[in-house]
Amino acid sequence: MMKATFCTNRASSLLAVLAVSSAIATADEYFIKPAFGFDLSIAAALPNDRRFTGSTIGFELSLLAITNKIRLGYYHEQGQWHGNDGEQHVSTNSNFNAFHIDYQLFAAAGQQVSLFTNVGHITFHDGLSKSAFAADLGIHYDPLILSARGVTTNFGVSLVYRYSHISSTQVFGAGSNPVNDVGGFIAGVHGLVRF
């Protein structure tokens, strides 16, 4: 009887240890901690309004890791845009400041694929002089990942679709269609460093 009780107690203790170990492992997957890093990007834009072309330079600062796959940060972008409607031309600069969320979909064999979104406010200057809400949905593909001494460096390409509308603005002169859709596709290259 004592032997049976002893075995039962040992089995209960073992199960308790396994349960605690499992809980610790799960807790390690879901954490909130500082996660510093930065991402520089250069891209070309194909706006929905085909009268425009553009280019952007972006900077993303990673600040916080929610899990081992989700990171939060701040995104800032400067853009240059040129429009042409017949003999009418317009040029404008933009600033986009946004909240950034990055989700790692896949990572193996020195490669990584991640989805990301930027949600914030874009302001156009000079020829357009408008501000609006803007939201990006994009994907990074990084075929080259280097790691050394706790620092990870990724190099890859990205494709983004941006949603953004402004109130109808006439910039090309009387008789031309107004500008209201300032969204579109943005494709480029980027380099990411994380600590």
Q: What's the pLDDT tens digit per position in 41-86?
A: 999 999 999 999 999 999 999 999 998 899 999 999 999 999 999 8
Dump pLDDT digits (tens) for 136-179.
999 999 999 888 888 889 999 999 999 999 988 888 877 788 99
CATH label of the domain that carries residue 154: 2.40.160.20
Nearest residue to 50 (alpha-carbon basis) of 80, 77, 81 = 81
Instruction: Evaluate whether residue 4 is within a structural domain.
Output: no
Four-CA torsion 10, 14, 19, 20, nearest 10 degrees: 100
Instruction: Evaluate whether residue 114 is within a structural domain.
Output: yes
Structural domain containing residue 159: 31-194
Instruction: Evaluate whether residue 147 is within a structural domain.
Output: yes
pLDDT greater than 70 at residue 25? no
Instruction: Evaluate whether residue 142 is within a structural domain.
Output: yes
Instruction: Evaluate whether residue 138 is within a structural domain.
Output: yes
Instruction: Evaluate whether residue 9 is within a structural domain.
Output: no
Number of domains in the chain: 1
Q: What would the DSSP string read from start to end of 18-45?
A: HHHHHHHHHHHHEEEEEEEEEEEEEEEE
